[in-house]
Amino acid sequence: MTHVLFGALLTFGAEPEDFFHEAQGALVIGDDGRILWRGARQDLPEDYRPSPTDDFGDCLILPGFIDAHIHFPQYRMLAAPGKDLLDWLTRFTFPEEARYGDEAYARAAAEKFLDRLFSHGTTSAMVFSSVHQVSADALFDAAQRRHMALVTGKTMMDRDVPASVRDSPEQAAVESEALYRKWHGRDRLRYAVTPRFAVTSSEAQLQVAHDLMQSLPDALLQTHLSESQGELERIRELYPDDADYTAVYDRFWLLGERSLFAHGIHLSDRECRRLSQTDSIVVHCPTSNMFLGSGLMDMAYLSMERRPVRLAIGTDVGGGTSYSMLATLGAAYKVQMLAGNRPTALQLFHLATRRNAEALRLTDEVGSLEPGKWADIVVIDPHATEILASRQELSRSLEDMLFALMILGDDRAIRATYVAGRKVHERRMK
């Protein structure tokens, strides 16, 4: 049935400055789960006035957060104390991911994982499943039942890893294609070709990734790039003839507008130029970068005007330490301060909604509150905790209110989450 949400609407156009904010707003959702109308409460068209309503007072109604990089089989292994990325992967991550070969385990985990996204206000995500076909299958199935726009793929990894999490180039080709054929374009689901990174994929497997991208229309690609010093050393050992890390992926034609590279911390000017020329996307994962001691990704350096690299933002759970995109934006602010930049809250909220939708190629359906788009929505309470409430007494602008939210907010500030017009999470009030 058509219903109406009342609250403070905030949504972005192509650029952060280009936002729509209506403090006394109304959003009409049709019975097909799509947005019918948005505007000032007082201008609500007569036809919609008899519809049922949810009045969220001065809470913010935003397009649902989009997490551009997260690992499903790491859903419970946050806070594992590795010495660095490679040590963390070997000691904690691969043993945990090995469990996802068990279908029952993967199916139960998928429900918990998606529940967590919803309770943190995240409505879409670009997700690494494990190397096992059944794990991607389980996640697609759970996301379909929730009517989500979700992108995932089975991880490809054929060397330098235990047998329990290893495939082969041939197996990766067959299983990735089977998953694509089963799920890509079904309801709101998309497939991503997912070579873990050039450390754990052989050249033969990177070639398979290329072949898949050539043969599977509209598939995306996700991998990792230039995260830690130990990883860079291993890349130099494995690929001595390539100019740098980006050149390895480039040699297999894996750069492009459908490719998302997590981290991108230690990139040279040459690498940024190639990423920029090819419209590739780098996904900033600030809580992970701090937790694993990987380094400070410099958003201003990547965005330099003469060779701007497209950016997105993700939690990278379980290397990341929070499912919350609010906390992730707060961490991005702190990492950028250490890198000598000072992004605004409006820039960062724009990144987590509109820009991430662009990165996942989902702008036709989500990322902003516009008629025709799916009603994937997060309702945020700027006064959710006592500390937030007292801080907001000092807020004098939208920027100020958002800034306090991203520095002090987390899942406690998520009042409700909607996917395709249906309420999928509501925070119990005290």
Q: Find how far residue 179's CA is from the centre of its chain.
A: 21
- Position of tokens 């005290």? 430
Q: How many residues does the chain have?
A: 430
Binders of ligand GUN among residues 263 to 292 (CB under 6 A) are: 288
Amino acid identity at 76: R
Identified binder of ligand GUN from the candidate list 38, 120, 184, 196, rule CB under 6 A: 196
Q: Kindly state the tokens that stand for 426.
A: 């509501």
Q: Is 197 in the site for ligand GUN (CB under 6 A)?
A: yes
Binding flag, residue 316, Zn ion (CB under 5 A): yes
Query: Is 5 an interacting residue with respect to Zn ion (CB under 5 A)?
Result: no
- Answer whether 22's CB lies under 8 Å from 16's CB: no
**Is residue 85 a contact point for Zn ion (CB under 5 A)?**
no
Give the integer Cα–Cα distance in Å for 32 and 64. Answer: 17
Distance of closest approach, residue 201 Cβ to ligand GUN, in angstroms: 10
342: left (phi over 0), alpha (psi -120 to 50) or beta: beta
Question: Dihedral through CA 248, CA 125, CA 80, CA 403, nearest 10?
Answer: 110
Residue whose CB is less far from Zn ion, 222 or 246:
222
Q: Which partner, ligand GUN, Zn ion, none, binds residue 197 by CB below 5 to 8 Å per kind?
A: ligand GUN
Q: Taking CB within 5 to 8 Å according to partner kind, which of Zn ion, ligand GUN, none is near residue 227?
A: ligand GUN
**In this chain, which stretch among 186-194, 267-275, 313-321, 393-401 interacts with Zn ion, using CB under 5 A?**
313-321
Task: Decide if residue 332 touches Zn ion (CB under 5 A).
Answer: no
Helix ranges (H only) for 320-409 are: 325-338, 345-350, 356-359, 386-392, 398-408
Q: How many CB atoms sit inside 10 A of residue 428's CB?
A: 4
Which residue in the set 11, 93, 280, 322 belongs to the binding site for ligand GUN (CB under 6 A)? 93
The answer to whether 227 contacts ligand GUN (rule: CB under 6 A) is: yes
DSSP string across 181-228:
HHHTTSTTEEEEEEE--TTTS-HHHHHHHHHHHHHSTT-EEEEEES--
Using CB under 6 A as the binding rule, whether residue 316 contacts ligand GUN is answered as yes
Binding range to Zn ion, per CB under 5 A, among 234-242, 297-305, 308-316, 375-383: 308-316
Q: How far is CA 383 from CA 194, 196, 324, 352, 386, in A?
A: 40, 40, 17, 21, 7
Q: Which amino acid would we find at residue 217?
A: P
**What are the backbone angles phi and psi of residue 231, rounded to the nearest 5°?**
-65, -40
Query: Which DSSP letter does residue 413 get?
Result: G
| Residue 392, token pair as written in the block | 């907001």
Shorter beta-carbon distance to ligand GUN: residue 94 or 333 = 94
Q: How many residues touch ligand GUN (CB under 6 A)?
A: 11
**Does 260 interact with Zn ion (rule: CB under 5 A)?**
no
175 part of the interface to Zn ion, by CB under 5 A: no
Chain-centre distance for alpha carbon 236 = 29
Q: Candidates 85-93, 138-146, 171-179, 303-311: pick the segment binding ligand GUN (CB under 6 A).
A: 85-93
User: Could you tell me the smallest distance in angstroms from the CB atom of residue 182 to ligand GUN?
Assistant: 24
CB of 235 to Zn ion, least distance (A): 16
H/E element, 389: helix 386-392
- Give 228 or 276: the residue with its C-beta nearer to Zn ion: 228
Residue nearer to ligand GUN on the CB measure, 93 or 368: 93
Nearest residue by C-beta to ligand GUN? 319
Number of residues in contact with Zn ion, rule: CB under 5 A? Answer: 2
For residue 78, report the phi and psi dihedrals to the nearest 5 degrees.
-70, 160
Q: Using the minimum distance from each CB to Zn ion, give the nearer residue, 155 or 336.
A: 155
Least gap, CB of 69 to ligand GUN (angstroms): 9
Other Cβ atoms within 10 Å of 389 Cβ, number:
12
Residue closer to Zn ion, measured from CB, 65 or 291? 291
Q: Any idea which residue has 């707060």 for tokens?
A: 330
Single out the residue of 34, 38, 71, 188 in contact with ligand GUN (rule: CB under 6 A). 71
Of 29, 89, 262, 360, the residue at the interface with Zn ion (CB under 5 A) is: 262
List contacts with ligand GUN (CB under 6 A).
71, 85, 89, 93, 196-197, 224, 227, 288, 316, 319
List contacts with Zn ion (CB under 5 A).
262, 316
